[in-house]
Amino acid sequence: SDRVPDAKTVWLFRERLTQAGAIERLFDRFDATLRNAGYLPMSGQILDATLVAAPKQRNTNTEKADLRAGRIPEDWQDKPSKLSHKDRHARWTLKFTKAKRQDDGTIPSTDLAIPFFGYKSHVSIDRKFRLIRKWKTTDAAASDGARLREGLLDKTNTASSVWADTAYRS
């Protein structure tokens, strides 16, 4: 039949691809197919990051300290069901947004800082064709600028122009 898979089915499929180490290989094959069809990235690239929410965790201070240090909290180790429900990689950050106009028409001089728990999806696209060329997923607190040194820029793009917000300036 022509049924569209639900979000859980798509998520499980992506998880299986990730566990099999297949996503990079599939992306490389797609890239090779584009190149063989004559696609050449020559118009510069655009970089941006999107915050992706994760369910908030209810952890004790000791558990938080263990997680920050990269350890599995002691009382989780013998409880596989609890461990499977805990996101050990997401982190907190502040999401800045413009303050809304007041009833009298004035705009507050300060931006709002909203706590946010989750991940960042960093993406580099070709400016002309809008195809994703490179991507990286990090915890939400990770610095955007550091992703440039980790291969977020597409070195095959023959144009030197890069459009990005100030978070990538470093």
Give the pLDDT band of residue 103 (cuts 50, 70, 90): confident
Cα–Cα distance, 47 to 170 (Å, whole number):
13
Task: Assess whether pLDDT exceeds 70 at residue 170.
Answer: no
Cα–Cα distance, 109 to 124 (Å, whole number):
32
pTM of structure: 0.72
- pLDDT tens digits for 75-102? 888 888 888 788 888 899 998 887 778 8
Q: Are 114 and 97 in contact (CB under 8 A)?
A: yes
- pLDDT tens digits for 26-82? 988 988 998 899 888 888 999 999 999 988 888 889 988 888 888 888 888 888 888
Helices 7-19, 23-36: crossing angle, 10 deg rounding: 90
Distances (CA, A) of 70 to 18, 53, 66, 90, 144: 21, 20, 6, 12, 21
Task: Assess whether pLDDT exceeds 70 at residue 1.
Answer: no
Q: Are 68 and 60 in contact (CB under 8 A)?
A: no
Q: How far apart are the first and last CA of the chain?
A: 51
